[in-house]
A = this chain, B = another copy of it.
Amino acid sequence: MSPISKDMIRISRQADYGLLLLGCFAKVPERATFSARELADQSHAPLPMVSKVLKLLTRASLLESTRGAHGGYRLTRPPESVTVGEIIVACDGPISVTECAPDEPTTSNCAQEPFCPVAGSWQRLNDAIRDALDRVTLAEMTCPVADPVESFSGNEGPADV
């Protein structure tokens, strides 16, 4: 199975689901709230997984939930202001391109940090990717033919990789 070539820099399936689910919200603006079951149906994803991801998105306050009968989830912000980066972070935790990234100096688990010739540069790489991810919004992702941002190739300043 899976004839797909190994992909690096991969996004976890959870985040994938997250994007998919939020996409469901964004696609039907008139509908405000959906239950987990409804979303599972719409997204053709297994209910338990959908449920799990919805919880994550809620904890990250990308969604808000109401319990009980006729409960469900709804977006807390318009799709235009939700970035893909946020969604991924919500589902999988902080985005970092390598373990070397010293978010906290105490946790420098990289044995060769003193010798590492590419020490500080990871940070810039991380920033570059984070940046790319934060440039794309949920609204743009759901937009069918999508002509968002011209920033991809001709991009402006922040290219400071």
Q: Which of the four size classes fits the interface of chain A?
A: 35 or more
- Residues from chain B with Cβ under 8 Å of A91 in the complex: 8
Count of this chain's copies in the oligomeric assembly: 2
- Report whether A4 and B140 are in contact in the complex, using a CB–CB cutoff of 8 Å: no
- Residues from chain B with Cβ under 8 Å of A94 in the complex: 5-8
- Residues from chain B with Cβ under 8 Å of A127 in the complex: 152
Q: Which residue of B lies closest to A132 (CB)?
A: B128
Tell which of B5, B20, B152, B153 touches A96, judged by Cβ atoms closer than 8 Å. B5
- Report whether B20 and A95 are in contact in the complex, using a CB–CB cutoff of 8 Å: no
Closest 7 CB pairs of A and B: A23-B117, A7-B96, A8-B92, A128-B132, A6-B93, A44-B112, A121-B141
